[in-house]
Amino acid sequence: MSGLFGTFNVAKRGMSAQQKALDVVSHNIANANTEGYSRQRATMEASRPFGMPSMNNAMGPGQLGTGVQISSISRIRDGFLDYQVRTENGTSGLYEGREEFLTQIEGIMNEPSDTGVSTLLTKVFNSWGDLSLHPESSNSRTVVAQQSKALTDELNNTYNQLIKLKGNSQEVIKQNVVDINNMLDQINVLNQQVISVKVGGNEPNDLMDKRDLLVDQLSAKFGISIDKKGLGGEDLKADGYDAYLVKSIGKDDVSRFSYVSSIELKDKNDPTQGYNVTYYKNGDMSQKSETISMQLTPGQYKELDQCRVLLADKAGNVEKADGTLNLFLPKTGELQGYMSVQADIDKYVNELNNLAKGIAFSINAVHSGSATATEEDLFFVNSTDPTAAGEQSINAGNISIKKAIIDDVMLIKVGIGDTPGPTDGKRALAISSLRDIRLAIQDIDAGKTRAEFLTGKFDLDATLGVNMVKSNLNGMTVSGYFTDIVNRLAVQTQEAKRIVKNHGLLLAGLDESRTSISGVSLDEEMANMIQFQHAYQANAKIISTVDELLDVVINGLKK
């Protein structure tokens, strides 16, 4: 329609388009500080003109425009930057998880300090050296007993704190399982809502922002891969796994995660009976637990104990393949960080156990003069089984001083003779010299006996006149072994901190790049607002002008 009414409609469309553009600007400004929000842009295009080519108007002046319309309201987003951020989120999450717990392990080790294991080891050997100079002194014997007890107490405490820390890391894994399942459910719902809005011909920008924010958060938990589907849908998997976690079609045919709360032997006296593996569906411990009976090799037990996360169906039922559990072992992300730290804790606990056992075996051997454990001559014992047989099971958690020695320090053997009491001090000097003896501590295992540990390395020392442990060229001193543990821990912690820092800088750069594209610039939005405001006012002026012209046409003819 041409004429004044046509002009009126053009101006009306112009006002409507500028108003919608102002609405978009207003929405952007309102969400300038909203996490995950992507700025939106109203795309304008010329509306369909009058005078489409035909036989009747072929020689006319051309098509007559009918104004403007909003063709779409789209969000500004760079998919490649999203991919980069999510990839770096996984690596950063891995080392942030490691740093968190490795730092706590350093605090538990408490090195270097005046009360740490290293200092207490030195004090123990020094006390034996002082006792060799004053074998008749009950005070010197008391110092040996008390310093040795301080060492065992610190080993017990360190062991218990590490075990507790491992339990804490498992609690964090459990909470992550719950959070991850909740995220996946939310993403699944948003996915379907996006598709529904797209089917209606609209752009679900805010819904897609919410989905992308959840995907960003999920990518810090473990590595993910995303397949873009039609109508804005997305299919999501964990890197290295074929199971879908989110599907645009068949939304219920997806996997979730369950949490293993305990792995216990059916019969502690008969390991061949297998294990009871107890798990909670979707990590929800408010629901009834489920138990599976199964056989586990030592390697499978260790892997399951350190992992604790099972791939399950949507209801949380664990998937079994050939009688085994389908463990979820991500390559990156916070989950992998917490899982790997458990392996580190197990390693440090095992090394502390070796240290405790090496100390007990070597000092007990020299104190008793025998490579074979005898109950009456023990100095260090297993607090849960203080017999000669219990010595084989000594670890950092149960090592202690024989109670009879604490009660009567005169039972400590000091000299060459087998009878406790004030003698020459040669045996005490031999025990003191153990600080410089290289022991194969790294080769100790849970089942090794004192005799096996000292095979070929225990003989009479001609100078001291007592049976003495001989140095092993492939071994380490007691202090050197513990120092090596502390140094490796420090290297691991510093590596985690360095990588967290480096990836933090990289992520900050990527976030800045993404924000420069998707973020809201208040200066830019204010400029757009003024531009659309002026355009709106100009269109309103056209309507006012058309109104005056119509008044001339309608009322002016009466004159």
For residue 210, being part of any structural domain is answered with no
The verdict on 345 and 483 lying in the same domain is yes
| Averaged pLDDT, 2-9 | 84
Is a pLDDT exceeding 80 seen at residue 426?
yes
> Tens digit of pLDDT for each residue in 60-101?
566 788 899 999 999 999 999 999 999 999 999 999 999 999
Element (H, E) at 75: strand 68-75
**CB 126: neighbour CB atoms within 10 A?**
15
* 390 and 462 both lie in a single domain: yes
Q: Is 43 contained in some domain?
A: yes
Kind and range of the H or E element at 131?
helix 117-133
Cβ–Cβ under 8 Å, residues 97 and 334: yes
In a domain? residue 260? yes
Provide the pLDDT confidence category of residue 55 given band limits of 50, 70 and 90: low
By mean pLDDT, which of 16-20, 427-431, 458-462, 500-504 is the weakest?
Answer: 458-462
Give the total number of structural domains in the chain.
3
pLDDT in tens, 309-337: 999 999 888 867 666 789 999 999 999 99
> Is the pLDDT assigned to residue 554 strictly greater than 70?
yes
Q: Is the dihedral of CA 364, 365, 368, 370 positive or negative?
A: positive
369 and 456 share one domain: yes
- Is residue 222 a part of any domain in this protein? no
- 278-302 confidence digits (pLDDT tens): 999 999 888 899 999 999 999 999 9
| Domain closes at, from 463, 487, 511 | 487
- Long-range CB pairs of 263-266 (<8 Å, 24+ gap) are 263/296, 263/301, 263/304, 263/305, 266/293
| Of the listed ranges 13-17, 88-92, 434-438, 464-468, the one predicted with least confidence | 464-468
Residue of 471 and 58 predicted with greater confidence: 471
**pLDDT tens, position by position, 350-389:** 999 999 999 999 999 999 999 998 888 899 999 999 999 9
| Helix (DSSP H) and strand (DSSP E) numbers for the chain | 12, 15
pLDDT for the residue 559: 55
Q: Model pTM? A: 0.89
Claim to verify: residue 423 and residue 360 sit in the same structural domain:
yes
**pLDDT for 269 beyond 50:** yes
Q: Greater confidence, 50 or 486? A: 486
> For 520-536, what is the mean pLDDT?
96
The confidence band for 59, taking pLDDT boundaries of 50, 70 and 90, is: very low
- How many residues does the structure list for the chain? 559
Regarding whether 442 and 365 lie in a shared domain, the answer is yes
Residue that finishes a domain, picked among 432, 464, 487? 487
Three-state helix/strand/coil letters over 291-336: EEEECCCHHHHHHHHHHCEEEEECCCCECEECCEECECCCCCCHHH
Domain presence at residue 88: no
pLDDT value, residue 481:
95
Q: Are 483 and 345 members of one domain?
A: yes
**227 phi and psi angles, rounded to 5 deg:** -110, 120
Q: What is the mean pLDDT of residues 488-508?
A: 95
Task: Residue 240: count other Cβ atoms within 10 Å of its Cβ.
Answer: 13
Mean pLDDT computed over 24-34: 96
Distance CA(327)–CA(341), nearest Å, equals: 17
Strand, helix or coil at 71? strand
Q: Are residues 374 and 453 in the same domain?
A: yes
User: What value does the mean pLDDT of the chain take?
Assistant: 91
Same domain, 323 and 423: no
Longest dimension (CA), the chain: 143
pLDDT value of residue 551? 83
CATH number of the domain bearing residue 307: 2.40.50
Are 245 and 226 within 8 A, CB to CB?
A: no
| Shared domain check, 435 and 362 | yes
Instruction: Note whether 357 and 303 are same-domain residues.
Output: no
Domain carrying residue 535: 4-76+522-558
- The candidate with the shortest Cα–Cα distance to 104, out of 7, 12, 169, is 169
Answer yes or no: do 388 and 453 share one domain.
Answer: yes
401 beta partners: 380
Q: What is the pLDDT of residue 61?
A: 63
Q: Which of 124-138, 344-358, 386-400, 542-556 has the lowest mean pLDDT?
A: 542-556
Tens of pLDDT, residue by residue over 95-139, are 999 999 999 999 999 888 888 999 999 999 999 999 999 888 889
Does residue 231 fall inside a structural domain? Answer: no
Q: Specify the pLDDT at position 312.
A: 92
DSSP label at residue 34: -
> Cα(382)–Cα(179) distance, rounded to whole angstroms?
42
Please report whether residue 185 resides in a domain: no
| Banded model confidence at residue 421, pLDDT cuts 50, 70, 90 | low
Per residue in 187-218, pLDDT tens?
A: 999 999 999 999 998 999 999 999 999 999 99
- Boundary residue ending a domain (329, 352, 387): 329
Exposed e or buried b for every residue in 413-432, given b needs 16+ CB within 10 A?
Answer: bbbeeeebeebbbbbbbbbb
248 domain residue, yes or no: no
Among residues 282, 306, 278, the alpha carbon closest in space to that of 294 is found at 278
Residues 366 and 470 in one domain: yes
